[in-house]
């Protein structure tokens, strides 16, 4: 291949001196981007909502053009950054003043577990599987659902786990879901999927919470440390 071909492959059609210009453009845009993120607030560097995630993706798309294209100046890109900062701050102000606007912009908190029982409808709305939820609880050192009073999926994507002061028997998180219960053990039975207690006198019935049919022995409170 010719020298001109290698030049086009390595540095494109721009003159070699444009590399120094790219360095200058990058420094200016980077410093301006740091200032923009600082103005957007601390949430941009922590757990972000859908609104902040959209802003972050937009910022990335904006800053690439003025840094890389020689025919584009950096002023339009910096102006767009200012517009995004103002727009996000306006949305944040609206979110703080109106609960309805907050629900539209960032979504709602989902109640995934209530009184030691998983809500399959909430899981479906949050696009989570049972195993994903159980893995989150195991990371929080939860041994069985009887230890849990509430589990919330916050609008920012974080999980909030509220434990019971007095644990109750519940579905074990340390054994494989669907393990059959032993006959004559005398232990309470719970649904192997959601932890809902089995109806008294009819352990073969279908769970009315999740419509599964498998039942498993609940972890008794006095032996939870050995589970």
| Overall domain count for the chain | 2
- pTM here? 0.67
Greater model confidence, 2 or 168: 168
User: Which residue segment(s) compose the domain that 167 sits in?
Assistant: 110-226
Among 69, 84, 104, where does a domain finish?
104
Cα atoms in the 13 Å half-sphere on the side-chain side of 203 = 15
Which DSSP string do the residues of 58-106 spell out, in sequence order? Answer: HHHHHHHHHHH-TTS-HHHHHHHHHHHHHHHHHHHHHHHH-HHHHHHHH
What is the spatial order of strands in the sheet that 159-163 belongs to? 117-118, 110-114, 148-153, 159-163
Higher model confidence: residue 183 or residue 203? 203
Residue 158 has pLDDT above 90, yes or no: no
Q: What is the pLDDT of residue 78?
A: 82
Same domain, 121 and 222: yes
For residues 99 and 118, state if they share a domain. Answer: no
My answer on whether 76 and 135 are in the same domain is: no
Q: Please tell me whether residues 137 and 212 are part of one structural domain.
A: yes
Whether residue 45 sits in one domain with residue 140: no
Per-residue pLDDT averaged across 106-132, rounded? 91
- pLDDT 10s digits, 63-93: 777 777 767 777 888 888 888 888 888 888 8
Final residue before a domain boundary, out of 104, 131, 151: 104
Give the residue, 174 or 183, on which the prediction is more confident: 174
Across residues 151-171, what is the average pLDDT? Answer: 90
């Amino acid at each position: 291949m010719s020298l001109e071909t290698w030049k086009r492959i390595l540095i494109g059609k721009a003159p070699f001196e444009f590399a120094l210009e790219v360095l200058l453009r990058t420094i200016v845009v980077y410093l301006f981007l740091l200032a923009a993120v600082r103005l957007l607030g601390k949430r941009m560097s922590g757990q972000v909502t859908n609104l902040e995630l959209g802003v972050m993706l937009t910022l990335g798309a904006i800053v690439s053009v003025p840094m890389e294209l020689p025919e584009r100046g950096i002023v339009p890109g910096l102006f767009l950054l200012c517009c995004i900062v103002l727009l996000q701050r306006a949305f944040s102000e609206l979110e703080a003043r109106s609960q309805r606007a907050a629900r539209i912009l960032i979504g709602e908190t989902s109640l995934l577990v209530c009184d030691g029982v998983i809500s399959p409808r909430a899981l479906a709305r949050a696009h989570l599987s049972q195993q994903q939820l159980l893995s989150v609880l195991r990371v929080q050192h939860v041994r069985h659902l009887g230890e849990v009073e509430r589990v919330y999926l916050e609008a920012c994507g974080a999980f909030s786990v509220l434990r019971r002061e007095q644990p109750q028997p519940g579905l074990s998180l340390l054994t494989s879901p669907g393990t059959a219960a032993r006959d004559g053990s005398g232990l309470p039975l719970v649904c192997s999927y959601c932890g809902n207690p089995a109806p008294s006198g009819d352990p073969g019935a279908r769970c009315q919470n999740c419509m599964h049919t498998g039942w498993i022995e609940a972890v008794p409170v006095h032996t939870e440390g050995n589970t």
